Amino acid sequence: MKLAVQENRVPGKTLTEQVALAEDMGFEGMEFWGADIPERIPEITNAFRGRKIRPSTICSGHQGALICADPKERQAAREGILQRLKIAGDLGMVGLIVVPGFQRHKSIPDLSPFKTDRELEMDVLVAQLQQMAPEAETTGAIILLEPLNRYESHFLNRQMDAVEICKRVASPSVQVLCDFFHMNIEEYNTPQTLRQVGTYCKHVHLADNTRQEPGSGSIDFKAGFAALKEIGFAGYMAYECGFCDYPNHEPRLRRSVKYLQGCM
């Protein structure tokens, strides 16, 4: 297992400075927001040249939503996802994090007794992922479905919901991201859930129950990491959290890294 960190969680005036500092702290990967990633490929390539730390993942950033009622929004999402997935593959990243829809996206209407809105959303999502899968498989990167808690999304809240989608799509290009913060809200037992997700888990997000840095709250990361080891997870675990003293948080970040290294 390898610790990673989202770019904007690391102090520094330039990406080169941030990458150097992250490596010095003990991080092995860095995650990037995907909105402007197409324009940043040379910058990212140069910043990591000669470094042990690697670019790990792209976090969303595409337009539209895969389960939006508007077909134009769904098309924009598919195109944006495939574009960023190719970039991820070209940069040697694991993949692109995809949230099918947030609370703000208009859901597909309930057509009971034919199908409920959730059943339709599942079907529409699976159909689009199956459509994208052949091209996605050529990129060398994977789509990482991220379940969110009920306050951020009406859809895909539980980890096993994401596993169900992966099984229906039946492509190695569609896998699961497990987020400790969201699991702490939605799952009865995070370590047991990780064991159930098993090898579908290809990436992890880290934040404590406070949604600040690991070690600031009550989540049992040692038990969670033990479960990840049991399922053979060897990928990146990226900090996606806030800091109460941001932007003067470097000491807290260093302490948190040492804490997680001890949990590992």
For 244-258, what is each residue's pLDDT tens digit? 888 889 999 999 999
What integer pLDDT is reported at residue 18 of this predicted model?
A: 97
Has 240 been annotated as catalytic?
yes
Has 146 been annotated as catalytic?
yes
pTM of the model: 0.95
Mean pLDDT to the nearest integer, 218-247:
95
What integer pLDDT is reported at residue 248 of this predicted model?
A: 83
Split at pLDDT 50, 70, 90, the class of 102 is: confident
What integer pLDDT is reported at residue 115 of this predicted model?
A: 80
Q: What angle separates helix 250-263 from helix 15-25, to the nearest 10 degrees? A: 40
CA distance 88 to 56: 8
What integer pLDDT is reported at residue 85 of this predicted model?
A: 98
Percent of the chain with pLDDT over 70: 98
Catalytic position from the list 146, 186, 187, 213: 146
Percent of the chain with pLDDT over 90: 86
User: Token pair for residue 134?
Assistant: 């052949």
What integer pLDDT is reported at residue 28 of this predicted model?
A: 98
What integer pLDDT is reported at residue 162 of this predicted model?
A: 97
Domains along the chain with CATH numbers: 2-263 (3.20.20.150)
Which residue stretches of the chain are H helix? 15-25, 41-48, 71-90, 117-137, 159-169, 180-186, 190-197, 221-230, 250-263
Split at pLDDT 50, 70, 90, the class of 103 is: low
For 25-76, what is each residue's pLDDT tens digit? 999 999 999 999 999 999 999 999 999 999 999 999 999 999 988 899 999 9
Amino acid at 133: A
Split at pLDDT 50, 70, 90, the class of 203 is: very high
Mean pLDDT to the nearest integer, 203-216:
96
39 burial level (CB within 10 Å; 0-12, 13-18, 19+): exposed
Split at pLDDT 50, 70, 90, the class of 222 is: very high
Q: What is the mean pLDDT of the chain?
A: 94
Split at pLDDT 50, 70, 90, the class of 106 is: low
What integer pLDDT is reported at residue 108 of this predicted model?
A: 77
For 131-181, what is each residue's pLDDT tens digit? 999 999 999 999 999 999 999 988 899 999 999 999 999 999 999 999 999
CA distance 229 to 81: 30
For the cut 70, the answer to whether the pLDDT of residue 105 exceeds it is no
What integer pLDDT is reported at residue 153 of this predicted model?
A: 87
